[in-house]
Structure 1
Amino acid sequence: MAKRDYYETLGVAKGASEAEIKKGYRTKAKELHPDRNTDNPNAEAQFKEANEAYDVLKNPEKKAAYDRYGHAAFEGGMGGGGQRGGGGQGDFASAFSDVFDDLFGDMMGGRGGGGGRARAQRGNDLRYNLRINLEDAFAGMQKTVNVPTAVSCDGCNGTGAEGGSEPVTCPTCAGMGKVRAQQGFFTVERTCPTCSGMGQTIKNPCDKCHGQGRVEKEKSLSVNIPAGVETGTRIRLAGEGEAGMRGGPTGDLYIFIEVNDHKLFERENTNLFCRVPVSITSAALGGEIEVPTIDGGRSRVKIPEGSQSGRQMRLRGKGMPALRGGGQGDMFIELAVETPVNLTSRQKEILKEFDEIAAENNPEGSSFFKSVKSFWDGMKG
């Protein structure tokens, strides 16, 4: 069976440029790759055919011979493409590796075409956990924090090289930051062990940073904590993270807020809750109490006659401010009616006398015991 024309196989015209040939091969490789065509039994053969064509047309000498003599140029062991003349897996692996970045580059870090790895690397982002009091979360504050981080080395201006000298291209990976090893049918890429993926080496590393371009240092920063923050609020300080490797851009610093529990107030979003104990007499007769507010002030609250434990009263606008504006929450006073302890004999006598004459004044108790009596009567029936 006659072999297909290599240009036709790649879907390009005769006389196509190197870039057009490579583009045609990329398209065919993605289209015909066996992993993407599990239901097509001919995909693997077509894929190998495309690789054989590209192996010839990407090489200027082989391409010139093919343009002049066609497939006959590689017959009889003349070192042609694909599976002839002992080329076999090695030629295929070489051809496939040229398009490896285009097929899988995004998954391996998105280096971009042709130029190898970026020489500088962005610094890491940092996280700092900051604990504050509820009062500070209410009012907002300016806080100075000390963050251990990596900063650009002033001895080499972040280059990692001594005396202003420039890094040189890594001889092991030729600046790619990776090396390739053939394992059977596939070509495997690994980070270059010589330059650790940087693509460059430094002949005279800086004594201060040992070629890293950065040094460890504690940095003091002033952080603006806006009013209304709560646990989990994240504040981003752009460019305050770790310095990049060898002059790379600096990462960011993220301040995570954690608000301490308060002795008097419980918070729920922008609302505050305060549990206030009151005496039996105040709850029964009514009265007025003074309660604290989160801003350090005081508010007077009237207690209605006959108030029960758990009753809530609202103080509008006395809660927490909403983060980035949007009004202010409310404060809820919850009454906790106290039972007196350590009574004297006289106090006990007074309470017993009061209990005898005030049984009908306990509506909830009377209703409950009527329900209990009805339940028992029903069980007997």
Structure 2
Amino acid sequence: MAVQREWLDRDFYADLGVASDASAADIKKAYRKLAAQLHPDRNPGDSAAEERFKKVSEANSVLSDTAKRKEYDEARALMSSGRYRGGDSFGGGGFGGGGGGYTTTGGFDMGDLGDLFGGAASGGGGGFDLGDLLGGMGRSRGRTQQQQSQRPRRGNDLQAETTLNFRDAVTGNTIRLEVTSPSPCTSCHGSGAKSGTSPRTCPSCNGTGFIHRDQGHFGFAEPDPECQGTGTRIDKPCAQCSGTGVQVRKRSINVKIPVGVEDGQRIRLTGQGEAGRRGAPSGDLYVTVHVTPDPVFTRSGHDLKVTLPVSISELVLGATVSVPTLDGTVGVKIPPNTADGRVLRLKGRGVPKRAGGKGDLLVTVKVAVPPKLDDAALDAMKTYAEAEKAAGFDPRADWGR
């Protein structure tokens, strides 16, 4: 993975307001708080908030990714150690814009780099690959990230959240989600060129974005000044997006919720994230689903659970009662002398499975005690209690032993 050149000019920790040793949970918490405050929906027409929102989102995309964060930290540590010197290009007079070639006196100390990153670097040796460290400099050609950053890049991934009721989550549904983010320009459809025109391949670099030259033992790639390293030329830029192919706007997305989605689960929508610049692929959109509790059902995997209130007489004498399911009510037979708390299983009445079939419905019977009885019912209960004793029934006969 290549360190983006512009990463080195940014303090992503400061953008999120966290320390450099912040945990992943702290970074996530800080991002969510700032994203909620700065979201364009909450700050319509505020360009400063919109720009800050973009910076916060980019910082989170790097620091929330373990591999990217590690690479970012290593590159910044190298810069702060003084082993890297230079302005807008790498190595002062080394890689990039106005300089000649590679130097070991004013830029990188190859021995120090080898110690830090495990390479076998020496002035002209081939053991250490600068391309691995600073962004795709090309195994032998030293392409700088400043050059690479001008190429069309895939858009960032986006995060979104939605809340569903229990039954929609269990059975699946299609919802409409409103997202405000960098999206393909509606005028040029992401190309960056004025409507009716198209970008053309740069003839001086044949679309590569670089011109190459050799100097001593090294080969160097420099951004083509004719196309500024993009590989294409736009003769008439789109006025609506200033030639970037991207504009921030609100859009509606249909999100298909799969059957059986659970609370906290993430759904990935490929290509629905931020648009890439100048026609590059869009990132992905990850939608986190929150499920509200149901007043009747709970679930355990693909099984549904429900508690069924019954009377003492229904347990003793047996009965057929109505039980709710996802598809309506069904009759359930309670056998005579059923114990309170017994679980009755209804096959195939649970949560649908993506591979086909359904889980089960687990019905727990629970005695409901009447809050008040009339005189006739009380007399009948007393008569029953006497008959119970006469039969020798003791509910606590084995209790406590």
Match of 2:341 in 1: 310
Tell me the SS of whatever aligns to 1:105.
Answer: helix
Equivalent position SS for 2:283 = coil
SS in 2 for 1:356: helix
Alignment partner, residue 256 of structure 1: 288
Q: State the match for 1:189 in structure 2.
A: none
Preserved CA contact (<8 Å) 1:152 1:243: yes
Residue type of the alignment partner of 1:150: P
Q: Any residues of structure 2 matched to 1:70-89 within 5 Å, and which? A: 89=105
SS at match of 1:120: coil
Matched, 1:339 2:339: no
Deviation of 1:290 after TM superposition, in Å, equals 0.9
1:233–1:334 CA distance, 2 compared to 1 (3 A): same
Tell whether the 8 Å contact from 1:117 to 1:199 is kept in structure 2 after alignment. Answer: no
Contact 1:135-1:295 within 8 A present in 2 as well: no
**Bigger-Rg structure (1/2):** 1
Q: Which residue of 1 aligns with 2:308?
A: 276
Query: For the residues of structure 1 that align with 2:169 and 2:104, how far apart are their CA atoms?
Result: 70
* Offset, 1:332: 0.9
- Name the SS for the 1:130 alignment partner: strand
In the alignment, structure 2 segments of 5+ residues that lack a partner are: 1-102, 111-120, 203-208, 211-228
1:129 aligns with 2:161: yes
Q: 1:91 to 1:277 in 2, by over 3 A?
A: closer
Q: SS at 2:354's partner residue?
A: coil
Q: Which residue of 2 aligns with 1:241?
A: 273
SS at match of 1:239: coil
- For the residue of structure 2 that corresponds to 1:307, the secondary structure is coil
CA RMSD of aligned residues (A): 4.1
TM norm structure 2: 0.53
1:348 aligns with 2:362: no
Residue identity opposite 1:264 in structure 2: V
Give how far 1:301 is off: 1.0
Q: 1:260: how far off?
A: 2.5
Aligned pair in 2 of structure 1 residues 126, 247: CA closer, same or farther (>3 Å)?
same
Structure 1 pair 288–125 and aligned structure 2 pair: CA distance change class (3 A): same
| Aligned counterpart, 1:324 | 355
- CA change 1:101–1:155 in 2 (3 A) is farther
Per the alignment, in what secondary structure is the counterpart of residue 168 of structure 2? Answer: helix
Q: Distance in 1 between matches of 2:260 and 2:189?
A: 41
CA shift in 2, pair 1:92/1:221, >3 Å: closer
Counterpart-to-counterpart distance in 2, 1:277 and 1:166: 74
In the TM superposition, residue 246 of structure 1 has moved relative to its aligned partner by 3.5
**Quick check: 1:299 aligned with 2:330?**
yes
2:148 corresponds to: 117
Q: Taking structure 1 as the reference length, what is the TM-score of the superposition?
A: 0.56
- In structure 2, relative to structure 1, the CA distance for the partners of 1:248 and 1:92 (3 Å cut) is closer
| Residue equivalent to 1:46 | none
1:365 aligns with 2:396: yes
Partner of 2:398, secondary structure, is helix
Deviation at 1:295, TM superposition (A): 1.7
